[in-house]
Amino acid sequence: MASPRPLSKLKVAKHLVPPYGGFPNSGPTGKPLFVYPSAFPSSTAAAQIESHLKGIGVVKPAWRYTMYREHHFHSTTHEVLVVHSGSATLCFGGRENPGRVVHEAEKGDVLIIPAGMAHALLEDHGGFGMVGSYPVGAKQWDHCTGGERGVEDRIKRLEWFTRDPIYGDDGPVLG
């Protein structure tokens, strides 16, 4: 099992992203996009990340893949992504949103994406791959591209994490 960087050495970025077009972003949850840069050593393999996530028990690893180039969001669950290979430029909030967040993702980064937060791959810099996970017991994730009806009410009903998916009882998503 891989060990993340000590919490005391982690520099967490939190981004509240305003709604834009058909993308709810931080609106319904009031929760930011959390970025834990280099939370895992760059040498950490996907299987080690999955083992760590299973050991914490907050989320269940579901896939290994890249990110879709189309801006999309999930209305049925929050999402935890851990970069296990390569690097890429990612966009959160909608490509034209003046309040969007652009992140240069690298191996070891953790992204905790609240339901409703639009996200898309802008550029793969080579071999970009992530472990995608969802809260234990969550509904199957959906794929919304903006303008769907009823998503905000569905998002508002979702529970937020009671333990951090990476650090357990002491993690940044709890604050």
Residue bearing tokens 């003046």:
98
Give buried/exposed letters for 114-131 (b at 16+ CB in 10 A, else e): bbbbbbbbeebeeebbbb
User: What is the rounded CA–CA span in Å between residue 35 and residue 141?
Assistant: 21
Q: What is the DSSP string of 53-99?
A: HHHH-SEEEEEEE---SS-BB-SS--EEEEEEESEEEEEES-TT-TT
Instruction: Read off the tokens for 1.
Output: 């099992």
Tell me the HSE value of 156 on the side-chain side, using a 13 A CA sphere. 6
Per-residue pLDDT of the chain (175 residues; tens, 9 = 90+): 679 999 999 999 999 999 999 999 999 999 999 999 999 999 999 999 999 999 999 999 999 999 999 999 999 999 999 999 999 999 999 999 999 999 999 999 999 999 999 999 999 999 999 999 999 998 899 999 998 999 999 999 999 999 999 999 999 999 7
User: What is the rounded CA–CA span in Å between residue 53 and residue 45?
Assistant: 13
Q: How long, in residues, is the chain?
A: 175
